[in-house]
Amino acid sequence: MAVKIWWLSISILSILNIGAWFYSAILFAKRKPAMNPDIYLGRRIILWLSGIYVFGCAFRSFLPRIDLERICLVDSWLSTMLVGRTVATIAELSFILQCVILLREAGRGVNNQFSLRISIALIIIIVIAEGFSWYAVISTHYLGGVIEESLWAIAGALLIMSFIALRPNVSGRHRYFLNAMIVFCTGYLLFMVTVDVPMYWARWQEDIALGAQYLTFSQGILDSAQSYVVSYDWNVWAEEIPWMSLYFTVAVWVSIYLTHAPDFKLATKPNL
């Protein structure tokens, strides 16, 4: 019963998030006449990337799954790990591209080369992370999950460093925005290093102790496309619910907000 209540809650929130994205798109369209054309183009891309992320998270909220264990809540081919991981990959790449575009806008706006370099590093790191995510899903090897989540934690740390580097060069709304992003990314990083990465590490160590056998590539592709078990057992979902709840709510809200971040082409240095 508890799992069903949680599932219903994140599903309702996902519907509200879709509505919030459409409202965000309407507000963005109204702002177009007052926006710098170069900034408008980048923000329009951010808006559509946000849409991909919002709808991807909604899909995953309606059809939750636990990849390596092949567990889900809905008996449907849409709940297969292959479909779910594909949707997740597209959504996660969309989110990091939002961050990269905004970081590059900010770096150019205040002439901060550090942020520009970090933006390139983020793309490389997350593409590699997605590769390890696929390795984990196909092989059922938790080491892939450990590396993937560690790389996402590193990306969070790099974003914090970039925002801190940008902060002395701006004031007003721009500084408030950077402060908010530093708080968000710090919370994210703390969660990753204290909850998420240790969870996958513990599961990997348990597999080692049990002498687990992993799937080959061909076996894993076939298994991830076909095999799943429907379970509403709280003990099965208990460790997944915290990260899924935050992922499908707070991260979505940040994604929607990024479209409306202050225009860094208009950023001003603080009065000294």
User: Taking a C-beta distance cutoff of 8 angstroms, is the pair 146, 204 a contact?
Assistant: yes
Rounded Cα–Cα distance for residues 187 and 156 (Å): 10
Above 80 in pLDDT, residue 78? Answer: yes
Residue 266 has pLDDT above 70, yes or no: no
pLDDT at 268 over 70: no
Within 8 A by CB and 6+ apart from 2, the residues are 234
CA 187/CA 57 separation, integer angstroms: 20
Q: What is the dihedral of CA 18, 24, 26, 29, to 10 degrees?
A: -140
Q: What is the pLDDT of residue 12?
A: 98
Label residues 8-40 b or e (16+ Cβ within 10 Å = b).
eebbebbeebbebbeebbeebeeeeeebeeeeb
Q: What confidence score (pLDDT) does residue 180 get?
A: 96
Share of the chain above pLDDT 70, in %: 97
Q: Work out the angle between the directed axes of helices 250-258 and 37-62 (0-180°, nearest 10).
A: 160
pLDDT tens, position by position, 119-170 = 999 999 999 999 999 999 999 999 999 999 999 999 999 999 999 999 998 9
pLDDT score, position 271: 46
pLDDT digits (tens, 9 = 90+) for 209-231: 999 999 999 999 999 999 899 99
The pLDDT score that the predictor gives to residue 153 is 98
Using N-to-C axis directions, what is the helix angle for 37-62 and 81-109, rounded to 10°?
160
Return mean pLDDT, the chain. Answer: 94
Whether residue 70 has pLDDT greater than 90 = yes
pLDDT at 9 over 90: yes
Q: How many CB atoms lie under 10 A from the CB of residue 231?
A: 15
Q: Can you tell me the mean pLDDT for 97-113?
A: 94
| Contacting residues for 113 by C-beta, under 8 A, at least 6 apart | 107
Query: How much is the pLDDT for 267?
Result: 63
Burial of 253 (0-12, 13-18, 19+ CB in 10 A): middle
Confidence of residue 34 (pLDDT cuts 50, 70, 90): confident
Let me know: does 184 contact 158? Beta carbons within 8 Å. Answer: no
Kindly report the backbone phi and psi dihedral angles of residue 229, in degrees, each rounded to the nearest multiple of 5, phi listed first: -125, 130
**pLDDT band, residue 270 (cuts 50/70/90):** low
Domains and their CATH numbers in the chain = 2-263 (1.20.1070)
